[in-house]
């Protein structure tokens, strides 16, 4: 305290931190700051005791806390809160992001997010770090790598899912296909055929027939590629196929099959497998794993007789001797089927398309899809008419009674095709000429046969005798009444005799009566013999020596 005439001073200091000096009395106004401590407390109790008396306890705010003092206790707001802790709602949240404190601050490039009683820091987009101590700009290459990594992981997962799904689907399809093949195999009589083949194993007359799988024939035909088609008819399509051993085969895929006749189909396959005739297309096996059974035959390379007859260039190479050889070989097959096979077989679809030729013009009869087995002690079969227009037996067409003479009629049409080079049925010709069989009979009766014979065979005078016999034979085969037609055995013998004994019709004296009747009241045909205006009923077959014809080998 200073006391003089002008004024007096008084001050309070912390005695522990202050040393009195006389200079303070003369120059107090310029004195340095003096240490002062103001210490106070709420009550004289400590916090633990004060909390027990809830009425007198001074820390009212929920966000406050009590701490002991040397003289008692005091109240303070919790960290993150500010205000008066002695009031009920006195301590309020501090928004550190609006009014940042030195101790509460996010670093540069970080975003502050206020929370109740605290705050958080996050780095801005394109920056990485914790937001409190670092926020560094992302490296572009690293970002691209991360993108590639994400894409790679996603693609890998997708590929794995696709592979698993594909494998599962493929396995399901294979199982489904396997079950379907087994179903078709049983429906098509596979078990029956296997049993019959096992019973015949070791038999001397049994030929090996293979049961092919669907996969084998699928590969052999390149998935039944249309470029592999070598023939197509009313009963199915024929494909050229290559087996594993490079063996070339013909695979016939039928259009339809009657499930009620599976047993008969299997029987036919089995019987055909036993045929070992040099002029029959050999059946190598079958496949029963498809909806419609597939038949596998040996492949004949030179096409069909129809192609050779109705192509001008190819027809010119077919001499009469070749044509008669083809006719004799075909007749020999039919004779074998009718007389030597057991049970007998009626082909039912003999036509030039179903007669194949190899490179040496050897005939090979094919397509037994319409064939019928003749039950024992039965000469005819009641059945729906089946065959090809132009070749169909008119008697069979009217009565539905199928006999071996139906094959004789169809063969007669083929014989006329060989003589004329004309198609069996052609709607482009005039009405009276559309049916070759009817036009041929009409031409014979009217004495104009020369007009329809193929120029390639009538130009040679040495063919006259052969032509005469064949013409008469064809006429007999085309008789409207089946009983008046010769058997195929007789036809085969006649043709074979004609090939072995040239001009046999002119070498026997007993033929003179026939020649006189042929030459009586006739018009010339232009190659040394004549026909009457009426049908010739000379039985040229019985007027020859019947020669033995080997039906099989």
Confidence of residue 380 (pLDDT cuts 50, 70, 90): confident
* 404, 330: one domain: yes
* 348, 284: one domain: no
Give pLDDT, residue 103. Answer: 66
Give pLDDT, residue 9. Answer: 67
Give pLDDT, residue 365. Answer: 93
Alpha carbon separation from 4 to 9, 21, 25 (Å, rounded): 10, 18, 10
Phi, psi for residue 483 in degrees, rounded to 5: -65, -25
Mean pLDDT of 523-551: 30
* 266, 343: one domain: no
* 359, 459: one domain: yes
Structure tokens at 347: 């082909």
Q: Evaluate whether residue 263 is within a structural domain.
A: yes
Alpha carbon separation from 403 to 177, 277, 397, 399, 408 (Å, rounded): 42, 22, 12, 11, 9
pTM reported for the whole predicted model: 0.58
Mean pLDDT of 401-425: 95
Q: Evaluate whether residue 184 is within a structural domain.
A: no
Q: Evaluate whether residue 23 is within a structural domain.
A: no
Q: CA-to-CA distance for 65 and 542, rounded, in angstroms?
A: 141
Tell me: the pLDDT tens digits for 343-369? 888 998 999 999 999 999 999 998 877
Q: Evaluate whether residue 1 is within a structural domain.
A: no
Mean pLDDT of 497-524: 44
Known binder of ligand: residue 46? no
Of 30-34, 130-134, 377-381, 401-405, least confident by mean pLDDT is 30-34
Tell me: the pLDDT tens digits for 39-58? 778 878 889 888 888 788 89
Q: Evaluate whether residue 39 is within a structural domain.
A: no
Give pLDDT, residue 253. Answer: 84
340 DSSP assignment: I
* 524, 470: one domain: yes
Q: How many CB atoms lie within 10 A of CB 438?
A: 13
Give pLDDT, residue 187. Answer: 77
Mean pLDDT of 325-332: 96
Residue 542 has pLDDT above 50, yes or no: no
Domain boundary among 93, 110, 126: 93
Tell me: the pLDDT tens digits for 247-273? 999 998 877 666 666 766 676 677 677
Residues 6+ apart with CB under 8 A from 303: 356, 357
Give pLDDT, residue 549. Answer: 29
Q: Show the domain range for 55.
A: 47-93
3-state secondary structure 61-73: CCCEEEEECCCCE
Q: CA-to-CA distance for 329 and 364, rounded, in angstroms?
A: 8
Q: Evaluate whether residue 353 is within a structural domain.
A: yes
* 337, 231: one domain: no
Mean pLDDT of 58-63: 91
Give pLDDT, residue 507. Answer: 42
Give pLDDT, residue 31. Answer: 56
Residue 130 has pLDDT above 70, yes or no: yes
Q: pLDDT over 70 for what percent of the chain?
A: 80
* 214, 312: one domain: no
Confidence of residue 509 (pLDDT cuts 50, 70, 90): very low
The alpha carbons of the chain give a radius of gyration, in whole angstroms, of 57
- Total structural domains within the chain: 3
Of 58-67, 164-173, 419-428, 503-512, least confident by mean pLDDT is 503-512
Confidence of residue 517 (pLDDT cuts 50, 70, 90): very low
For the chain, give the mean pLDDT. Answer: 80
Ranked by mean pLDDT, the top range of 333-337, 371-375, 522-526 is 333-337
* 416, 471: one domain: yes
Q: Evaluate whether residue 332 is within a structural domain.
A: yes
* 293, 361: one domain: no
Mean pLDDT of 192-201: 72
Closest by CA position to 457, among listed 423, 494, 420:
420
Residues 6+ apart with CB under 8 A from 67: 47, 73, 74, 75, 76
Which is more confident, 319 or 25? 319
Residue 172 has pLDDT above 50, yes or no: yes
* 446, 329: one domain: yes
Give pLDDT, residue 521. Answer: 35
Tell me: the pLDDT tens digits for 72-102? 899 999 988 999 999 999 999 988 888 666 6
Give pLDDT, residue 503. Answer: 42
Q: How many residues does the chain have?
A: 553
* 200, 291: one domain: yes
Give pLDDT, residue 63. Answer: 92
Find the CATH number of the domain harbouring 418: 1.10.510.10
* 225, 359: one domain: no
Closest by CA position to 92, among listed 84, 102, 101:
84
Q: CA-to-CA distance for 75 and 81, rounded, in angstroms?
A: 13
Q: CA-to-CA distance for 498 and 539, rounded, in angstroms?
A: 14
Alpha carbon separation from 13 to 10, 38, 219, 363 (Å, rounded): 10, 10, 114, 143
Give pLDDT, residue 506. Answer: 38
Q: Evaluate whether residue 378 is within a structural domain.
A: no
Find the CATH number of the domain harbouring 197: 3.30.200.20
Active site residues: 349
């Amino acid at each position: 305290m200073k006391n003089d005439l002008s004024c007096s001073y008084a001050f309070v200091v912390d005695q522990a931190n202050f040393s009195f000096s006389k200079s303070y009395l003369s120059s107090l106004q310029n004195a340095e700051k003096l240490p002062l401590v103001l210490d106070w407390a709420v009550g004289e109790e400590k916090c633990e005791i004060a909390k027990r008396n809830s009425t007198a306890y001074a820390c009212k705010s929920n966000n406050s806390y009590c701490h002991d003092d040397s003289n008692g206790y005091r109240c303070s707001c919790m960290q993150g809160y500010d205000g008066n802790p002695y009031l009920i709602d006195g301590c309020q949240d501090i928004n550190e992001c609006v009014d940042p404190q030195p101790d509460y601050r996010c670093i540069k490039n970080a975003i502050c997010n206020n929370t109740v009683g605290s705050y958080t820091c996050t780095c801005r987009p394109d920056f990485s770090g914790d937001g409190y101590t670092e926020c560094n700009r992302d490296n572009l290459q690293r970002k691209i790598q991360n993108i590639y990594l994400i894409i790679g992981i996603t693609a890998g997962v997708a590929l794995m899912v696709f592979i698993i799904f594909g494998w599962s689907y493929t396995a399901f399809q294979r199982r489904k296909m396997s079950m379907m093949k087994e179903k078709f195999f049983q429906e098509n009589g596979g078990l029956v055929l296997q049993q019959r083949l096992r019973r015949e194993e070791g038999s001397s007359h049994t030929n090996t027939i293979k049961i092919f799988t669907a996969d084998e024939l699928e590969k052999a035909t390149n998935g039944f590629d249309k470029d592999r088609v070598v023939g197509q008819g009313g009963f199915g399509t024929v494909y050229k196929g290559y087996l594993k051993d490079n063996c070339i085969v013909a695979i016939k895929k039928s259009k339809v099959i009657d499930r009620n006749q599976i047993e008969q189909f299997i029987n036919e396959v089995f019987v055909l497998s036993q045929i070992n005739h040099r002029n029959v297309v050999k059946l190598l096996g079958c496949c029963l794993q498809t909806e419609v059974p597939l038949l596998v035959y040996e492949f004949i390379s030179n096409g069909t007789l129809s192609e050779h007859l109705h192509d001008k260039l190819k027809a010119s190479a077919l001499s009469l001797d070749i044509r008669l050889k083809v006719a004799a070989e075909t007749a020999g097959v039919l004779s074998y089927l009718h007389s030597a096979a057991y049970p007998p077989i009626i082909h039912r679809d003999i036509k030039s398309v179903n007669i194949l030729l190899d490179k040496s013009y050897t005939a090979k009869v094919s397509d037994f899809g319409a064939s019928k087995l003749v039950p024992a002690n039965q000469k005819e079969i009641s059945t729906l008419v089946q065959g090809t227009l132009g070749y169909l037996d008119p008697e069979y067409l009217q009565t539905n009674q199928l006999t071996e003479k139906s094959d004789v009629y169809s063969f007669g049409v083929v014989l006329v095709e060989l003589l004329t080079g004309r198609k069996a049925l052609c709607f482009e010709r005039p009405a009276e000429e559309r049916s070759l069989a009817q036009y041929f009979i009409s031409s014979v009766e009217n004495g104009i046969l020369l007009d329809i014979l193929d120029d390639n065979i009538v130009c040679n005078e040495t063919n006259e005798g052969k032509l005469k016999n064949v013409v008469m034979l064809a006429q007999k085969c085309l008789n409207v009444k089946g009983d008046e037609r010769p058997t195929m055995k007789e036809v085969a013998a006649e043709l074979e005799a004609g090939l072995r004994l040239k001009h046999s019709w002119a070498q026997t004296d007993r033929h003179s009566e026939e020649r006189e009747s042929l030459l009586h009241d006739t018009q010339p045909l232009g190659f040394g013999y004549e026909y009457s205006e009426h049908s010739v009923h000379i039985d040229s077959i019985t007027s020859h020596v019947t020669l033995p014809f080997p039906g099989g080998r």
